[in-house]
Structure 1
Amino acid sequence: MTVLNQVICEKRSYRREFTSHQHEFGQFLFPLVGSLDIHTKNQDLVLKPDSCFYLPPDLNHLYRSKERNEFLILDIPKNFIPHQTDRMLVHIDEQWSAIRSLLVEESRRRDSNALNDLTRYITSKLEISLPTSIIYLHENFKKPFRLEKLAEIEHYHPTYYSTWFKQKTGKSPKQYLSDLRMKEAKTLLLQTDWTMTRISEEIGFDNSSSFTRWFVKQEGISPIRYRYLKNG
């Protein structure tokens, strides 16, 4: 197993045959041309240029590319990495696109000080970035809930996803969703004069009766009583 003592940023290409290995350093993979099939325990994905992927140290993985390909690879020594990092699929938004461009430039310049500073910035994002499926849940908690959809977003097997989710958040997906809905329900109860029917529809319940039963089970009082007590 290779031990890394310095940050390495370079372009690489991969073969059509599957290769399996693990390494004692973290690694970001940024597809520039083509795609990469990656298989880890409980996860299968095809990495394309609209995403990048972080592999934590000591994670065994299989990979191959079935087409012409080029990848920007950032190899990161352990001393640059926050503790207990997990694999992470990241969508290339405007910010990550800028990061990728800076890395391409640094791979040409080979300025180790600038590359080290940029790498520290990138690894700091591992501690604050929400996984894609949790971002999706925040944006879509008012819609019907499907565990399989969340697992699919992370390219995890559904049987593994709930365990992974609880490790990341301390809650089950169902409880996490319930907490998001409760936060929104309380905001609407206190900051609007909407009816129970309108609020229940807004946060994803079929009717006000279901909403009220759920609210009482969670808070011990009805939503109408909650509004009255808090608004005085």
Structure 2
Amino acid sequence: MQSITCEKRSYSREFHSHQHEFGQFLFPLQGSLDIQTKWQEIKLDPEYCFFLPQGVDHNYRSMDRNEFLVLDIPTAYLPEESSSMYIQLDQQWSSIRYLLLEEAENQGNASSLADLTRYVASKLQIAKPPSIDYIHRHFKESIRLETLAQIEHYHPAYYSAWFKKKTGRSPKAYISDLRLKEAKHLLKSTSWSMSVISGELGFENSSSFTRWFNRCEGVAPQKYRILKNG
């Protein structure tokens, strides 16, 4: 497919299966859509949007009255490697949906739709997946891999591979890096004791925090504080 398609579509109750040689963005307007891929099972509702990359086999159906805004994106607009993405419809993505709706309803000139599609594709590359956003909000707590996989609607066996492809690190290493960054900040900017800092970062006690920090940084947290604060 060389041209961009932006239109409203509805889906039937029977499961259909196919793949396409283009990327597809789905914005629910009414109802929900069940989508199954090899690694994901999603019930897409109007609180989220979903990007499906080219060449992915998927089954889909809708069990209720439904209407979706669909943007079919030629591969020329997309990065060489892209993965499916389940995105919460925040203010920014709601605004994008509104602009695409205007294009779908008015069938304006092709260049404005092309410009908007390029913008959507660029946002797709920097969008933070829901599970990574969850990590940034909860990294001080204990986070189970199964919880993160469930947020993305991935099977746990596949989630770690998807996460490493997305970030270059394992979930465990990514969370540890966030904790270490926060630990350094607290050691440099506060006079809190080791027990208070360890509790703030979710460690059971100051001994486990000290061992972890020493293993990560090669120096005890007390000495790090002295070195950094002179």
- TM-score bracket, shorter-length normalisation: over 0.9
SS in 1 for 2:55: coil
Question: What residue number does 1:179 align with?
Answer: 177
Question: What residue number does 2:125 align with?
Answer: 127
Asked if 1:67 corresponds to 2:64, the answer is yes
CA RMSD of aligned residues (A): 0.8
Q: 1:30 aligns with which of 27, 31, 45?
A: 27
Asked if 1:97 corresponds to 2:98, the answer is no
Question: What residue number does 1:136 align with?
Answer: 134
Question: What residue number does 1:79 align with?
Answer: 76
Q: Percent identity?
A: 60
SS in 2 for 1:212: helix
Q: Which moved more, 1:157-166 or 1:69-78?
A: 157-166
How far, CA to CA, are the matches of 1:167 and 1:117 in structure 2? 28
Q: 1:229 aligns with which of 217, 227, 230?
A: 227
Residues 117-170 of structure 1 show CA distances to partners (whole Å, capped at 9, x for unaligned) of 111100001211121101110111011121110000000011111111111111
Question: What residue number does 2:114 align with?
Answer: 116
How far, CA to CA, are the matches of 1:49 and 1:27 in structure 2? 16
Q: CA deviation at 1:20?
A: 0.5
How far, CA to CA, are the matches of 1:146 and 1:156 in structure 2? 14
Q: CA deviation at 1:206?
A: 1.4
Question: What residue number does 1:160 align with?
Answer: 158
**Runs of at least 5 residues in structure 1 that lack an aligned partner in the other structure:** none
TM-score (norm 1): 0.97
Q: 2:201 aligns with which of 184, 203, 218?
A: 203
Q: CA deviation at 1:5?
A: 1.4
Q: Is the 8 A contact 1:17 1:64 kept in 2?
A: yes
How many pairs does the alignment contain?
229
Query: Which segments of structure 1 move beyond 3 Å, counting only runs of 4 or more?
Result: none
Question: What residue number does 2:186 align with?
Answer: 188
How far, CA to CA, are the matches of 1:79 and 1:163 in structure 2? 26
Q: Is the 8 A contact 1:82 1:126 kept in 2?
A: no
Residues 40-64 of structure 1 show CA distances to partners (whole Å, capped at 9, x for unaligned) of 1111010000000000111111100
Question: What residue number does 1:41 align with?
Answer: 38
Question: What residue number does 2:2 align with?
Answer: 5
Residues 185-208 of structure 1 show CA distances to partners (whole Å, capped at 9, x for unaligned) of 000000111111111111111111
How far, CA to CA, are the matches of 1:92 and 1:174 in structure 2? 27
SS in 2 for 1:96: helix
**Runs of at least 5 residues in structure 2 that lack an aligned partner in the other structure:** none
How far, CA to CA, are the matches of 2:28 and 2:226 in structure 1? 55
Counterpart of 2:143 in structure 1: which amino acid? F
Q: CA deviation at 1:82?
A: 1.8
